[in-house]
Amino acid sequence: MDYQAVLEEVADRARPLVRQGRVADYIPALERVSPDRFGIALTDIHGETYGVGDWEVPFSVQSISKAFSLALVLAQEDQSIWKRVGREPSGTPFNSLVQLEWEQGIPRNPFLNSGALVVTDRLQTLTGDASTALLDFMREESGNPELSFDQAVAGSEAEHGNRNAALAHFMASFGNLENPVPSVIEHYFWQCSIEMSCRDLATAGGFLARHGLRADGTRLLHARDAKRMNAVMLTCGTYDAAGEFAYRVGLPAKSGVGGGIVAVVPGRCTLCVWSPGLDARGNSVAGAAALDHFTTLTGWSVF
**Burial classification of residue 195, based on how many CB atoms lie within 10 Å of its CB (0-12 exposed, 13-18 middle, 19 or more buried):** middle
Phi-psi map region of 219: left, alpha, beta (phi>0 left; psi -120 to 50 alpha): beta
> Which one of the listed residues 18, 23, 156, 239 is annotated catalytic?
239
Residue 41's closest CA among 267, 261, 192, 286? 261
Distances (CA, A) of 294 to 1, 13, 272: 12, 10, 12
> Which one of the listed residues 52, 66, 181, 273 is annotated catalytic?
66
Cβ neighbours, 10 Å, residue 8: 15
Cβ neighbours, 10 Å, residue 81: 20
> Which one of the listed residues 23, 60, 63, 285 is annotated catalytic?
63
Residue 114's closest CA among 233, 227, 239? 239
239 is catalytic: yes
63 is catalytic: yes
> Which one of the listed residues 85, 118, 188, 264 is annotated catalytic?
188
Rounded Cα gap, residues 220 and 216, in angstroms: 10
Rounded Cα gap, residues 15 and 32, in angstroms: 20
66 is catalytic: yes
Question: DSSP label at 184?
Answer: H
> Which one of the listed residues 85, 184, 257, 285 is annotated catalytic?
257
Residue 32: CB partners within 8 Å, gap ≥ 6? none
CB 110 within 8 A of CB 116: yes
Residues carrying an active site annotation: 63, 66, 188, 239, 257
